[in-house]
Structure 1
Amino acid sequence: MNMTLILLAAGDSLRFNGNKLLYEINGKPMYRYIIEAIDQLPDGLFSRKLIVTQYDEIMEYMKDSGYKIIANRDSRLGISHSIHLALKELEKDDTDFFFAVCDQPYLQSSTIEALVKGFRESRKGLACLCFRGELGNPAIFSGQYRKKLMELTGDRGGKKIIAAHMSDVFLLEAEDARELKDIDVMPL
């Protein structure tokens, strides 16, 4: 089965006091960390790669990356709108969906690879990273969950679907809680 990587990079960073995705951590914009982690993965792990963003700086950086860039010009509609835009792009594809956010700079490529491998071996319809029972990102949805993803509204992502179908979820326990940490507020 094909798996498409979908990077979500369109959030408004309302609690951050600025564009958190462009915020530099150790001299590099935050969003680049996950892209670099993905670049370390084996070729062929993902059949396609998409990034959904509202930011011209990210679009410019990604233009020659091999990712399909999808512009989200209505980010105020929440994360569900980014999900819908990606799924509309993949309307004719028979694929599973690997969703990742771009504000988790400590996520490791080995964890991403282990999540994909565990999902495939488990034969479950869903997967996500967790730490001590706390569900996090990234998350994988088999194609059978496309309709439920399209029913999401507002700033509610796929965790709602995962929580409602726990018997169909492969959970990968992160080795370090930092991997799940998304940066929502300006560091002090």
Structure 2
Amino acid sequence: MESLEIIILAAGSSSRLGQPKQLVVYQGKTLIEHIVSNALIVSPNVTVVLGSHAKNIEWVLNQAQLFPKIVYNSDWKQGMGSSIKTGVSSLANKQAPIMILLSDQPAVQTNLLWQMIHLYQEKKPEIVACDYGGKLGVPMLFSPQVRHELLMLSGDQGARSFLQHYSDTTLTVPFALGVWDIDTPKDMAELVNKKLDKLQIR
């Protein structure tokens, strides 16, 4: 989808993990390589928001021959909301739909992203969100009409903070594995036991 803008949030310090989660290796690739490479398959317009560990992450992407647009959030310590605002503010195409991804969800595959895109193209909702089994979360896809809400985020606010305002115009795709991210050493230890290629992600 050539008009789609994808923003990958990768600015956090991973304080609970004790090392940059973006650079954790799974199945031979770092998590940041995994999400960037998948994003570039579905759209040429990929922006990665960096903050903490920016130089190391950018070096890894360059070594992997992955060249998304890089923007830096100098206020990354304030939280996710500031990184979303930084990413959205950097986009030149004000009329493009925007998909937001995280760098620490290994279960995100291109089939999920395509499913979200096709649903958006077919039904034209304001938001397409992933359903973790009653809880909505990222990946999320936003119509241009929701752009102003993304630009109003601050601190540690994520898009969940305004989802209730769009409940009538939000569609979802099931993504049970969305609850699995890499925040703690326990999460990272479990990573080696996960065989995502053998799991059916609907």
Aligned twin of 1:46? 43
CA distance in 1, matches of 2:28, 2:93: 40
Contact kept in structure 1, 2:94 and 2:144, CA below 8 Å? no
Per-residue deviation, 1:11: 1.2
TM-score, normalised to structure 1, is 0.87
TM-score, normalised to structure 2, is 0.81
Q: Secondary structure of the residue that 1:149 maps to in structure 2?
A: helix
Amino acid at match of 2:43: F
Aligned twin of 1:81? 82
1:104-123 CA-to-partner distances (Å, cap 9, x unmatched) read 01111101110111122111
| Unpaired stretches in structure 2, ≥5 consecutive residues | 190-202
Per-residue deviation, 1:92: 5.0
Amino acid at match of 1:93: K
Question: RMSD value over aligned CA atoms?
Answer: 2.0
Per-residue deviation, 1:27: 4.0
Q: Secondary structure of the residue that 1:137 maps to in structure 2?
A: strand
Per-residue deviation, 1:16: 1.6
1:93-132 CA-to-partner distances (Å, cap 9, x unmatched) read 3211100001001111101110111122111111111132
How do residues 4-15 of structure 1 correspond to structure 2 at under 5 angstroms?
4-15=5-16
CA distance in 2, matches of 1:67, 1:31: 11
Aligned twin of 1:67? 68
Amino acid at match of 1:46: S
CA distance in 1, matches of 2:122, 2:30: 34
Aligned twin of 2:56? 57
Contact kept in structure 1, 2:127 and 2:140, CA below 8 Å? yes
CA distance in 1, matches of 2:147, 2:23: 30
Structure that is richer in strand per residue: 1
| Unpaired stretches in structure 1, ≥5 consecutive residues | none
1:34-61 CA-to-partner distances (Å, cap 9, x unmatched) read 123334x3xxx43521111122122223
In the alignment of these two chains, the number of paired residues is 182
